[in-house]
Amino acid sequence: MSAIAAMQGIASSLWAGMFVVEPEGKTGIHHHGEQDTVVYVLEGEACVRWGDFGEYSATVRADDFLHVPSWLPHQELKPSKEQRVGWVVVRSTPEPIVVNLPDDFWTPTDPKPIERKCR
């Protein structure tokens, strides 16, 4: 749901809105092109993975801020079976940019496993 956007009749160099990941939901691996994104978590808890191979992860909770730099491949995951996560999103361009990457984007070519778990 957008709050500050051209489609709302608001001329701005930013885009802002709400984003919800339902229980046990996840986004695909993606990046936001030239956009920097700042997220404020309103409710719930989610895991965010990022990096060239998805090798980094962090858990974000209500009242946390998260900065997603431009071009950074990442993914949001909601492991809880009961609670959704909701956040306010502000992006550095007037229209949101989402570039979806292939599901196997993080599949390593090196047979050595990469540890992937939220802390």
Contact between 96 and 15 under an 8 Å Cβ cutoff? The reply is yes
Q: What 3-state DSSP class applies to 7?
A: helix
Structure tokens at 99: 């570039």
Q: What does the pLDDT read at residue 10?
A: 73
Q: What 3-state DSSP class applies to 115?
A: coil
Residue 5 has pLDDT above 80, yes or no: no
Q: What percent of the chain has pLDDT over 90?
A: 58
List pLDDT tens digits, range 64-113. Answer: 999 999 999 999 998 888 888 999 999 999 888 999 999 999 987 665 55
Domains of the chain (ranges; CATH) run 2-96 (2.60.120.10)
Q: Is the pTM of this model over 0.75?
A: yes
Q: What does the pLDDT read at residue 52?
A: 87
Nearby residues of 87 by Cβ (< 8 Å), 6 or more positions away: 18, 19, 20, 39, 40, 41, 42, 60, 66
